[in-house]
Amino acid sequence: DTGVSQNPRHKITKRGQNVTFRCDPISEHNRLYWYRQTLGQGPEFLTYFQNEAQLEKSRLLSDRFSAERPKGSFSTLEIQRTEQGDSAMYLCASSLAGSLGQYFGPGTRLTVL
Amino acid sequence: DAKTTQPTSMDCAEGRAANLPCNHSTISGNEYVYWYRQIHSQGPQYIIHGLKNNETNEMASLIITEDRKSSTLILPHATLRDTAVYYCIVSPVLYDKVIFGPGTSLSVIP
């Protein structure tokens, strides 16, 4: 499968715990994006990378959230001290810089109890 | 970024054409019109884009009005698998992020 993959697909955690999600983009894509989607809403942009550089962060990305793409390939999104409001689907997408269209992964559904 | 307006929901009979409208009256000259769709429990899927001319690919056709203030996504022969939320987005050529609105929930009915 050469599409965008995300792991885990589902994560249930207790409030206050830390969680980390992984995204593996399409191999030749140099841009990688993270979005968050709550029930009934369209996805909301969180941050994106070009290669290993994080170029933009949304104000939605509080200081409890951190994203990395250390070698310009896979990326991780960590949420520290999770809150119930963090419960959502976290989507990753990749593209080639300047190309017209992003390819999304299946998402990681986070439930914070 | 320019704003888009789409109907909240639409129904379409299976086998008929589904015509999904989108208004983008404040679109700038360098902004493309993109369409994505999201089938339940999956990530969004890119469908098609256009600037001025009408476009067609294996999934759909995109009709953009001459003044570029509105467009229509056409699924020529809708199937049950086309049931999804369809997002219309306008954005510059080298866009960085996709700003999704609420989209149109299309239900294809047997």
Contact across the interface for A45 and B97, Cβ inside 8 Å: yes
Question: What does each C-alpha distance from A69 to B31, B52, B71 come to in angstroms?
Answer: 29, 36, 37
Of A33, A97, A105, the CB nearest to B97: A33
The residue type of A96 is L
8 A C-beta contact, residue B31 and residue B2: yes
Of A4, A98, A100, the CB nearest to B49: A100
pLDDT < 50 regions, chain A = none
Q: Given this model, what pLDDT does residue B95 score?
A: 60
User: Which chain A residue shows the shortest CA-CA distance from B88?
Assistant: A42
User: Which chain A residue shows the shortest CA-CA distance from B51?
Assistant: A100
Angle (nearest 5°) at CA B41 between B14 and A4: 110
Closest by Cα among A95, A97, A74 to A6: A74
- pLDDT tens for residues B14-61? 999 999 999 999 998 888 899 999 999 899 999 999 999 899 999 999
CB atoms within 10 A of CB A62: 12
Query: Which residues of A are less than 8 Å from B93 in CB distance?
Result: 98, 100
User: Which chain A residue shows the shortest CA-CA distance from B103?
Assistant: A42
Q: Given this model, what pLDDT does residue A66 score?
A: 95
**What's the rounded Cα separation, in Å, for the pair A60 and A46?**
6
